[in-house]
Amino acid sequence: MKLVLALLLFSFAAITYGETTNPIPGGIYRFKIPTDATNVAYRDKAVFAANGWALVAIPIATEPGESALTYEQNGAQHTHSFTIHPHAYTEQHITIKNEALVSPPPEVQERIQRESVRQRGLYASHRTDHKVANGFQLPLNGITTSLFGHKRFFNGKPRSPHSGLDIAADSGTPIGAAGGGTVTLADELYFNGNTIFIDHGRGLITMYCHMSKLEVAENEEVSKGQTIGLVGATGRATGPHLHWSVSLNGTRVDPTIFAEALNQTVTSLPN
């Protein structure tokens, strides 16, 4: 098992590092915004922009091939084409002892629905300013136990691809904010357990799940690295770990690819 994990991590590293302008489904396309250009959009939605660069989130369900973003310059609409490359995500089979967390009973459906609507609303946020001028850091140092994009099976039943990165560490280990922002959710959710949402602005939202304890409250401003909670196994978890996800304009992307793209962007020379 350890060897398989090591091989997975190795191939993951080989694929992602230094290739953020080589976009894959679930990844990022990094685009230098032409001088005087405004309103950079992808699929008719404004994209995240910082320091003269646009970071475009590519949904994991996107078919590889030609794609395009648009922008306005000197009163005219322009199109910029780029290629989305294929990427083979591996399968992961997980056994959950509590069957109610795999196929929830009817009495919790309303709660699940309510929480889902609330989370969708938070992901749709697009604040004017961003608070990540000093980039992102990993929220927890531990053992990566599940990568973004795995095709997942819970007790043999197919579920959505893994939408974040799982990092295992001892229960009670502090978890830090990936970057600066505002806490928009600090609550206990059915699947995610004790959860924090941080809105970093311009459509960038991070989520931290399964905590044993929350250390910040809703509407609180947090800075990069500030402790927001402690590692736990609340919600649908097989052991103490952090599920960390990055949402960009409503699209979940690979947190490692995003963090690298953002850090390259904030250290780049602006236009």
Q: How far is the CB of 268 from Zn ion (least distance, A)?
A: 31
Strand-pairing partners, residue 28, are: 57
Cβ of residue 147: shortest distance to Zn ion, in angstroms?
A: 9
Q: What is the largest CA-CA distance in the chain?
A: 60
Query: Do residues 48 and 204 lie in contact, with contact meaning Cβ atoms separated by under 8 Å?
Result: yes
The span from the CA of 89 to the CA of 91, in Å, is 7
Smallest separation (angstroms) from Zn ion to the CB of 92: 10
Q: Let me know how long the chain is.
A: 271
For residues 132 and 168, which CB has a smaller minimum distance to Zn ion in the complex?
A: 168
Q: Closest CB to Zn ion among 51 and 171?
A: 171
C-alpha to C-alpha distances, 254 to 12, 175, 202, 245, 260, nearest whole angstrom = 11, 19, 18, 8, 10
Question: To 10 degrees, what angle do helices 255-267 and 2-16 make?
Answer: 40
Residue whose beta carbon is closest to Zn ion? 243
Residues that bind Zn ion (CB under 5 A): 164, 166, 243
Tell me the closest approach of the beta carbon of residue 128 to Zn ion, in angstroms.
Answer: 31
Q: By C-beta, is 80 or 150 nearer to Zn ion?
A: 150
Which residue type is seen at 241?
A: H
CA-to-CA distance for 191 and 119, rounded, in angstroms? 12
Closer to Zn ion at the Cβ: 9 or 133?
9
What whole-number distance in Å separates Cα of residue 214 and Cα of residue 115?
Answer: 18
Calpha distance 165→173 (Å, rounded): 17
With b for 16 or more beta-carbon neighbours within 10 A and e for fewer, the 188-198 pattern comes to ebbbbbbbbbb
The least CB distance from residue 163 to Zn ion, in Å, is: 7
**Least distance CB 229 / Zn ion (angstroms):** 15
In the complex with Zn ion, which residue's Cβ is closer, 27 or 164?
A: 164
40 versus 178: smaller Cβ distance to Zn ion: 178
